[in-house]
Amino acid sequence: MSHNSFGKNLVFTSFGESHGHTIGCVLDGFPPGMEITPEEIKVELRRRATGQSRHTSQRKEKDDVHIVSGVFEGKTTGHPIALLIENTDARSKDYSDIAEVFRPGHADYSYWHKYGIRDYRGGGRSSARETTMRVAAGALAKKWLKLHHDIEIRAWLSQLGDIELSKGDVSVRDDNPFFTGDTERIAELEAYMDGLRKSGDSVGARIDAEAIQVPAGLGEPVYGKLDAELALAMMSINASKGVEIGAGFESVAQAGSVHRDEIVSGEFQSNHAGGILAGISTGQPITLSVAFKPTSSLRIPGRSENIHGEPVEVITKGRHDPCVGIRATPIVEAMMALVIMDHVLRNNGQINSGK
Amino acid sequence: MSHNSFGKNLVFTSFGESHGHTIGCVLDGFPPGMEITPEEIKVELRRRATGQSRHTSQRKEKDDVHIVSGVFEGKTTGHPIALLIENTDARSKDYSDIAEVFRPGHADYSYWHKYGIRDYRGGGRSSARETTMRVAAGALAKKWLKLHHDIEIRAWLSQLGDIELSKGDVSVRDDNPFFTGDTERIAELEAYMDGLRKSGDSVGARIDAEAIQVPAGLGEPVYGKLDAELALAMMSINASKGVEIGAGFESVAQAGSVHRDEIVSGEFQSNHAGGILAGISTGQPITLSVAFKPTSSLRIPGRSENIHGEPVEVITKGRHDPCVGIRATPIVEAMMALVIMDHVLRNNGQINSGK
Amino acid sequence: MSHNSFGKNLVFTSFGESHGHTIGCVLDGFPPGMEITPEEIKVELRRRATGQSRHTSQRKEKDDVHIVSGVFEGKTTGHPIALLIENTDARSKDYSDIAEVFRPGHADYSYWHKYGIRDYRGGGRSSARETTMRVAAGALAKKWLKLHHDIEIRAWLSQLGDIELSKGDVSVRDDNPFFTGDTERIAELEAYMDGLRKSGDSVGARIDAEAIQVPAGLGEPVYGKLDAELALAMMSINASKGVEIGAGFESVAQAGSVHRDEIVSGEFQSNHAGGILAGISTGQPITLSVAFKPTSSLRIPGRSENIHGEPVEVITKGRHDPCVGIRATPIVEAMMALVIMDHVLRNNGQINSGK
Amino acid sequence: MSHNSFGKNLVFTSFGESHGHTIGCVLDGFPPGMEITPEEIKVELRRRATGQSRHTSQRKEKDDVHIVSGVFEGKTTGHPIALLIENTDARSKDYSDIAEVFRPGHADYSYWHKYGIRDYRGGGRSSARETTMRVAAGALAKKWLKLHHDIEIRAWLSQLGDIELSKGDVSVRDDNPFFTGDTERIAELEAYMDGLRKSGDSVGARIDAEAIQVPAGLGEPVYGKLDAELALAMMSINASKGVEIGAGFESVAQAGSVHRDEIVSGEFQSNHAGGILAGISTGQPITLSVAFKPTSSLRIPGRSENIHGEPVEVITKGRHDPCVGIRATPIVEAMMALVIMDHVLRNNGQINSGK
C-alpha cells in the first residue's frame, strides 16, 4: 500500500496540493456497470464546500469535478476511475512573512522535519483541500452501497465546543450549516460561532456517524477488522484526535452486564457494540464518533519558531474556519462509505467465493 | 495486505486458534544482525500471561516460545522470523451446552454469520490468546527501537471502571498486577476487583501509553499517518472500543489558543498533539489512550439466542478475567512498538534514501 | 506485501531455513468450508520429495505436514491456515571448509553482500527446501479449483538438457521419475542422467504447464494481469531463468496473421496466446513454460572467492540433484494453482460483486 | 496493491483510456529534493512516441506532460507526483462496424467476458497508450538512479521477426527508428518493414536490456526477488509473451560447469546469471530479454465472432504499427528503472536501517 492510498479490493489514491493546479484521485477496483454522473458527485462536494455560510472559510472553490477515466457512456467500466478538480481559488499572494515560520499546531513543523521542504503557500499536502477527493470518491461508494445493499450512511454534529447536541432528525441535517438534526439549537450554535469569530479563537467538534442496513459478516479479523479500518480511516482525516466505536470510552466504566447487548426475540436490546463484534458487523447499525481538534489558525498571536530555530510570534490572517470539525461531517460519511464498500468486496473475495 | 497481517516494511502475520495445538507469528522485514534470545521474548510474555494473580484468568500457559526461523547463531538474519508457542492448557472439556449458543457480546455471533462455522471450544481466532504473538514480536521491536534510536515505550492502567488513576511512577508498573504507577491506590484496586469477582460481573479499563525519544519525521501522510496506523493497531486489539491521540476527545471542547502547542526557546509548552502533527511525529512523546470494554463472559445470566434462532439464557462458567483490559497493557506496548518500528523503516525507505 | 508473501486475496507466506528446526507457511484468505486432511497434502509433497529415485538428491525428508491452524473438524474455517514441517534430515556436519567460501553460481555470494550474514549449513532461506511449503499450500488450491470450478493444473518435463520431449500422455507423468508423458524416451533420459552423475556435472530443464477449464475473465489489468503474476510466480522458483506464456519467444518470428488465434464456429483455431489476452483469461487452456538453469553444486572444481576476497577452488560434495529442474514440476503446478485461485477470489471481489 | 499499481516503497499507479480525455499516473513514495522538469520527461516520451517515422503508427500525440502535484519550485517534495497528458489525437470516427466485433488476438474478447462492457473506440484501458505514463514516470526513476547510484539502464532491439541483431553500439540506438546499435543493418530492417506494411501483416520483436552499475544486494527473497519482479513488470507490458533473465532459456541445455559464473581475481568470468543470484543483484550488469508478439491489427482478414456469437470477418483499418515491439524499447527501460529504484528504497527500508 502506498502512503497516499487506502483500501484493499477498493483502493483509493489521492494526489494534489492545496495551492497546486489540480487535485485528484484514483478509485481502483470499482465494479463495472454502475451509472454515475459528475452532477451526482457535485451534490456531495457542495455539502463539504467552504464559503457557503459565514461560519466556514470564505475560500470559494467551484469544485467542478471531471471524471477522466473509468466511466464510459455514463457507466463504470471496472477500470480505475480518476477524478480531477482544478483549484480555482488558490490565490497567489505574498507569503514572505510566513514562508519560514512554523505556525503553532500546524503541519509546517512536522513536514519540515520530515521532508526538509515546505509548501509555504498553504498546507500543501496537509491541507483539508485533499479531503475534497475523499468526498468525491465517497459519492460513488455511497451510491453503490445504497443500490446493491440498501446501506445508508449519515453523520452529524454531536458536539461543538462544550455544546452537546442530540441526534434529532438527521434527515434535515443538510438544511443548516451545522449538519445538525437538533434544529432547535441552531440559533445557539450561530451565536456561539459568531462569538468565536469575533474573539479570533477556534473550537473543536465531535461528529457522530452511523451506517444502517449493513449486513452481518463484514470485517476481516484480526488486522482487517471493520472497526480497526474505520479507526484508521477516521484518524486519517485532518484534525482528528480520537475515534470511538459504539459505547467507546464510556464502556470503560460500564459493567459487563450492561455493556453486552442482549438478544430477545431475535432483537438486540442495545447497541453498545456499535454494530461490530470481534471486528465483524452484526447487522446492527454501525455507530462511531470522531473528535476533531480546534484549528490552530488563529488571529490570536501564538509563540513559535522559524526554520532557523529563532523565536517568532505568529498570527494567522486570511480565510479559515473557526471550527473545522463541522465540515468534516461529509468527509466522515465518505470515509465510512469507502471502508464499508471495500469490505463488501473483500467479503465477496473470500466468503462468497465458496464455502 | 492479508487479513492477518499488518505493517508495510515490517510485516507481522499471526496464526493459530485459542484451543489449537500451536499459535505462531511471522515477522518479516526485520533488519539483520540484532541479537535476540527466547528468554528476552519470555520476559515480555510473562507480563501478559494469565494466571499470575487472582485478578486474571486462571488459564496457565507456559508460553514457551520457539524461534524457528530468521535467527541464526543468535542474530536476526533479515529473513522471516517465525515464533511458535504450543498451547499447553487448552483443556478438553464438554462443550455440548454452549456449542450452539451465542454468548451475548461475543465473537460467536458475528463469526457464525460470516463464516458459517464456529470453534465452540473457545474464542478460536477471536480469543485474546492471539495477542500472545503480538507481545512476542513486540519484544523484538522494542529491543530494536531502544538499541538503534533509544526509543522507549510504556503503557499503564489509567482507569479501571470508574476509578481514574494518575500516571504516577510508571517504572514500577510491572511490580503490581494492575500495571499502575499510582501505587498508593493498589489496595483500592484490589478491593474493587474482589468485589467484581464476587458479583460475577466485569468492568472496562483505559490504558494510556507513550513512546519517548521518538525522532521527528515518522509517519506517512495521508493514509499512512502515524496516528492513523496507531489507531488501527489499537482498535485491532480484542475488546478495544476507542482510541485517542494526545488530548483526544478533550480537544473537542478546547479553544484553539489552548490546544495548539506553542514553542518557546525551542521547547513545546504542552503536548495536546500527542507528539503527532498532520500524521508525522514532532519529536515530543507520542501519547495515546485506549478504551477496553468489559468482558462479556459473566456468571450473571444473559439473554441471547442459539444458531437456530431460539432464545437461550447464557451463563459463562470457567476461567475469565473480571477486567480483560488490564492485561492489554503489554499488548498496547507491543503494538505501539511494531507500528513505530515499521515507520522508522518506511522513513528510511523514502526520505533517508536521498533528498 | 512482505518479502516472503505473495497473492492479494489469497495470501501465501513462507518461513524457515533449509537446516533450521521447522519450515512452515501461512495461507490466508482461504474460503471456509473445504474439507482437507494432511494426507491429501502429503500426496503432493511426495511428488516433490527428494530421495525417491537415484536421479534426485538423496536427502530424505519425511515431510510430515501438520495443519496447526485454520482447519477445524476437518474443514477450513476462513482463518489463516498454518502448515508446519519439521526438518528431520538436516544433518549436522562439519562445515568449516565451506563456511567462508562463495560457491560459484550460488546464493552465497548475493546473500552475503545483502545481509552480511550467511547460513553456511546449506542454502538457508535460498534453499529449494522452501518450495516444500509452496507445494503443500498448492495442494489446497488445487483441490479448491477442482471442486468449485473443475479447473485442473498439470506440468511436465518438456526438455532435459538438449533432449526435447513431447507432451505425450501427461496423465502418466507421475509414474516415472521425470514427470514426462513421453514414456518411450524414459530409458534415454535415465542413461543421460546416469552420464551426468558420473561426470559430476549438471544440466537445466524446461517445464511446460497448462491449466484447463479456466473460465474467461480472470486477471486484473494492467499490473495484476494473469500472465504477469504467473511470470512473477514462476520466476520466484529457485533456479528459474525464463518464463513464456503461450507461443512465448516463438512469437517474435511469427507473422501476426499466424499468431492471432482465429475463431471459427465459436472455437479458437489455435492457442498462441496461451489462453490469456491482455492479461485476462479467454477460456482456452492457460499454457506456460519455465526454464530452469543447471544446478551449480558440482563435483567439478570451480573458481571462486571467499568472504575475504581471496581466490578459492570449490567442489561441492554431498547430496544434490544433477538436474534440479525436474523436481520443479510439482512446484510449477502449485504456484500456478495459487495464482489462479487468488484471481478467482479477486474476480469475485470486484466483478461478481455487482455490475 | 490495486490492479493498476505496482511497486512497494515506490508505487506507480496509472489511469486513463486510449480515447478518453486524459491519461495520467501517480508516483508515490519518491524521495524529496530531486529537481525535475516536464522537459526532462518529454525527452523520454518522444522516444516512445508514434508518428515519428513511417515504421510506426501515424497517431500523433503531443504528449504534453503536466506535473500537477508532488513537485514544488522544481523539486520533488516526497508527496505523490501526478502526471497528466491530454489525448489530443483520439479521433472521433464511426465505430459502428466494429463496435460489436471481437478482433482476433485482441483484448476485445477477454475484456468483454470479464467486464461485460467494451470501449469500442480503441483499446480503452488495454491500449498501449497506457504505457506513455510508464515512460513518463520512468524518466524520474532513471534520473534518480543515475544521480544517486550512477545506475544506467538501456534497452535495444535484438530481433525483428527472424532478423537477429547484435548489440552493437547501444549509445546510438536513439538515432534510428529501430532502437538498434547494429547500425549496418538498418537498411535491411527498413526494407523488411516496408514489405510488412505492404503485405498488411505484422511481426514480433525481441528487446534486450541491461542495467549497469547496479550495486550488489538489491532484491527481496523469496517473493520480492529482483528477477521475479522484473518478470512481472515486463510481462505487464502490452504484447509481451516471454521474459528471460541472463542466459534465460539457453540455460536449459547448458552444463552447470558452463552456466555458473566463476570468479577469478575478483572478476566474474561470465554473466549467465544476468546479474542476479537467488533473486538478489550481484553487482554484475542485470540483463534481460523480452518477447513481444506481432500485433493482431492487420489488413489481412481474420475470422472471429461478435458479441452475439455470430461469425464475422475482421479487417483492421486505421493507424497501427507493423511491429509494436520496437516501440516497447523505452517502455522496457522505464519499467526496469521503476523496479530497480523501488528495490533501492526497499533495501534502505530494511538492510540499511541497522544491522
For A266-320, write each residue's pLDDT tens digit: 999 999 999 999 999 999 999 999 999 999 889 999 999 999 999 999 987 765 6
CB–CB of B338/B10 below 8 Å? Answer: yes
Output the pLDDT for position B94. 60
Q: What string of DSSP letters covers B8-28?
A: SSSEEEEE--TTSSEEEEEEE
Over residues C326-347, mean pLDDT: 97
Instruction: Name the grid cell of C239.
Output: 533456479
pLDDT over threshold 90, residue D352: no
Q: Which of D4, D252, D277 sits opposite C291 (nearest CB)?
A: D252
Q: Which of D6, D14, D277 sits opposite C105 (nearest CB)?
A: D277
Name every residue whose Cβ is closer than 8 Å to that of residue D241 and which is 6 or more positions away in sequence.
C244, C245, C246, C247, C248, C249, C251, C274, D204, D291, D292, D293
Backbone φ, ψ for residue B213 (5° rounding) = 65, 25
CB–CB of B32/D220 below 8 Å? Answer: no
Q: Which of A242, A244, A265 sits opposite B311 (nearest CB)?
A: A265
The backbone region for B351, taken as left when phi is positive above 0, alpha when psi lies in -120 to 50, beta otherwise, is alpha
CA nearest to C227, candidates B1, D10, D290: D290
Residue A44 within a domain: no
pLDDT over threshold 80, residue D50: no
Residue type, B130: E
Interface check for B17 against chain C (CB to CB < 8 A): the answer is: yes
Output the pLDDT for position D61. 75
Distance between CA atoms of residues A182 and A192, nearest Å? 15
Residue B164 within a domain: yes
Q: Cα-atom radius of gyration of chain B, to the nearest Å?
A: 21
CB–CB of B123/B98 below 8 Å? Answer: no
Q: What string of DSSP letters covers A282-319?
A: -SSPEEEEEEEPPPS--SS-EEEEBTTS-EEEE---S-
Of A335-344, C312-321, D192-201, D203-212, the least confident: C312-321
To the nearest whole number, what is the mean pLDDT of chain A? 93
Residue A77 within a domain: no
Output the pLDDT for position B56. 72
Backbone φ, ψ for residue C17 (5° rounding) = -110, 160
Burial of B171 (0-12, 13-18, 19+ CB in 10 A): exposed
Q: Three-state DSSP class for D141?
A: helix
Of A159-173, B308-322, D206-220, D289-303, the least confident: B308-322
Q: What is the DSSP letter of B146?
A: H
Distance between CA atoms of residues C70 and B130, nearest Å? 13
Instruction: Name the grid cell of C348.
Output: 469475485
Bridge partners (DSSP) of residue C71 are C76
What are the start-end ranges of the E strands in C121-169?
152-160, 163-164
Entry field: residues in chain D: 355
Residue B160 within a domain: yes
Flag if A126 and B4 touch (Cβ within 8 Å): no
ipTM confidence: 0.97
Q: What is the pLDDT of residues C261-308, one digit of tens each?
A: 999 999 999 999 999 999 999 999 999 999 999 998 899 999 999 999
Distance between CA atoms of residues A52 and A30, nearest Å? 31
Q: CB atoms < 10 A from the CB of D61, how many?
A: 20
The better pLDDT of the pair D54, C229 is held by: C229
Residue D7 within a domain: no
What are the start-end ranges of the E strands in C88-231?
152-160, 163-164, 205-212
Peptide bond preceding B68 in cis form (omega within 30 of 0): no
Residue C123's pLDDT band, with cuts at 50, 70 and 90, is: confident
Return the residue matching grid coordinates 475515534: A243
Residue type, C266: G
Output the pLDDT for position A321. 78
CB–CB of B292/B205 below 8 Å? Answer: yes
Return the residue matching grid coordinates 513511417: D54
Looking only at the bridges linking them, the beta strands covering D75-76 and D71-72 are: antiparallel
Residue D337 within a domain: yes
- Residue C24 with chain B: CB contacts under 8 Å: 24, 68-69, 82
Residue D310's pLDDT band, with cuts at 50, 70 and 90, is: very high
Flag if A26 and D15 touch (Cβ within 8 Å): yes
pLDDT over threshold 80, residue C239: yes
Over residues A255-269, mean pLDDT: 96
Name the most confidently modeled range: D7-16, D106-115, D292-301: D7-16
Distance between CA atoms of residues B290 and A248, nearest Å? 9
Residue A50 within a domain: no
Nearest CA of chain C to the CA of A76: how many Å? 9
Interface check for B354 against chain A (CB to CB < 8 A): the answer is: no
Interface test with C, best of B3, B5, B15 (most C CBs within 10 A): B15
Distance between CA atoms of residues C158 and C326, nearest Å? 10
pLDDT over threshold 50, residue A189: yes
Interface check for D95 against chain A (CB to CB < 8 A): the answer is: no
Interface test with A, best of B260, B297, B316 (most A CBs within 10 A): B260
Of B105-119, B149-163, D89-103, D134-148, the least confident: D89-103
Burial of D178 (0-12, 13-18, 19+ CB in 10 A): buried
Nearest CA of chain D to the CA of B31: how many Å? 5
To the nearest whole number, what is the mean pLDDT of chain D? 93
Return the residue matching grid coordinates 476485445: D108
Interface check for C354 against chain A (CB to CB < 8 A): the answer is: yes
Over residues D268-279, mean pLDDT: 98
Flag if D254 and C203 touch (Cβ within 8 Å): yes
CB–CB of B301/B314 below 8 Å? Answer: yes
Give the number of C-alpha atoms closer than 13 A to the C-alpha of residue D202, restricted to the C-beta side.
Answer: 30
Alpha helices in chain A (DSSP H): 38-48, 107-115, 131-149, 186-199, 226-235, 256-259, 329-348
- Residue A68 with chain D: CB contacts under 8 Å: 15-16, 20-22, 24
Q: CB atoms < 10 A from the CB of B29, how many?
A: 27
Residue B21 within a domain: no
Nearest CA in chain B to C12: B2
Q: Which of C24, C77, C125 sits opposite B117 (nearest CB)?
A: C77
Nearest CA in chain C to B73: C119
Instruction: Name the grid cell of C229.
Output: 503474476
pLDDT over threshold 70, residue C1: no
Nearest CA of chain D to the CA of A111: how many Å? 10
pLDDT over threshold 90, residue D233: yes
Output the pLDDT for position B92. 57
Instruction: Name the grid cell of B44.
Output: 515480555
Q: What string of DSSP letters covers A167-195?
A: ---GGGGGGSTT--S-GGGHHHHHHHHHH
Distance between CA atoms of residues C50 and C48, nearest Å? 7
Instruction: Name the grid cell of B91.
Output: 483443556
Output the pLDDT for position A61. 74
Angle at C299 between CA C295 and CA C303, to 5 degrees: 85
Q: What is the DSSP letter of C107?
A: H
Residue type, A65: V
Looking only at the bridges linking them, the beta strands covering D311-314 and D267-268 are: unpaired
What are the start-end ranges of the E strands in chain D?
5-6, 11-15, 22-28, 66-69, 71-72, 75-76, 81-86, 152-160, 163-164, 205-212, 240-245, 263-264, 267-268, 276-277, 280-281, 286-292, 302-305, 311-314
Of A11-15, A291-295, B252-256, C47-51, the least confident: C47-51
- What counts of helices (H) and strands (E) characterise chain D? 7, 18
Of A45-54, B37-46, B319-328, C173-182, the least confident: A45-54
Q: What is the pLDDT of residues C71-105, one digit of tens each?
A: 999 999 999 999 999 988 756 566 667 788 999 99
Name every residue whose Cβ is closer than 8 Å to that of residue B265 and which is 6 or more positions away in sequence.
A311
Give me the tens of pLDDT residue by residue for chain B, a chain 355 residues long.
689 999 999 999 999 999 898 999 999 999 999 999 999 999 999 998 866 777 776 667 788 999 999 999 999 999 999 999 998 875 556 666 778 899 999 999 999 999 998 777 777 899 999 999 999 999 999 999 999 999 999 999 999 999 999 999 999 999 999 999 999 999 999 999 999 999 999 999 999 999 999 999 999 999 999 999 999 999 999 999 999 999 999 999 999 999 999 999 999 999 999 999 999 999 999 999 999 999 988 999 999 999 999 999 998 776 567 999 999 999 999 999 999 999 999 999 999 886 4
- Residue C77 with chain B: CB contacts under 8 Å: 115, 117, 119, 124-125
CB–CB of B67/B36 below 8 Å? Answer: yes
Interface check for B82 against chain C (CB to CB < 8 A): the answer is: yes
Residue C53's pLDDT band, with cuts at 50, 70 and 90, is: confident
Peptide bond preceding A222 in cis form (omega within 30 of 0): yes
pLDDT over threshold 80, residue D95: no
Flag if D298 and C5 touch (Cβ within 8 Å): no
Chains in contact with chain A (at least 3 beta-carbon pairs closer than 8 A): B, C, D
Q: Three-state DSSP class for C188?
A: helix
Q: Which domain holds residue D156?
A: 91-350
Over residues A165-176, mean pLDDT: 96
Q: What is the pTM of this model?
A: 0.97
The better pLDDT of the pair D113, A94 is held by: D113
pLDDT over threshold 50, residue C355: no
Percent of chain A exceeding pLDDT 90 equals 82
Q: Which of C9, C354, C355 sits opposite A350 (nearest CB)?
A: C9
Instruction: Please report how the helices B226-235 and B329-348 are oriented relative to each other, as an axis angle in degrees rounded to 10.
Output: 150
pLDDT over threshold 50, residue A355: no
Of A116-125, A248-257, D59-68, D71-80, the least confident: A116-125
Distance between CA atoms of residues B279 and A238, nearest Å? 9
Distance between CA atoms of residues B130 and B331, nearest Å? 11
- Residue B11 with chain C: CB contacts under 8 Å: 1-2, 5
Instruction: Name the grid cell of A255.
Output: 459493567
The CATH code of the domain that includes A340 is 3.60.150.10
Domain count, chain A: 1
Q: Three-state DSSP class for D262?
A: coil
Interface check for D212 against chain C (CB to CB < 8 A): the answer is: no
Q: What is the DSSP letter of D306?
A: B
Output the pLDDT for position B58. 64
Output the pLDDT for position C49. 85
Residue D355's pLDDT band, with cuts at 50, 70 and 90, is: very low
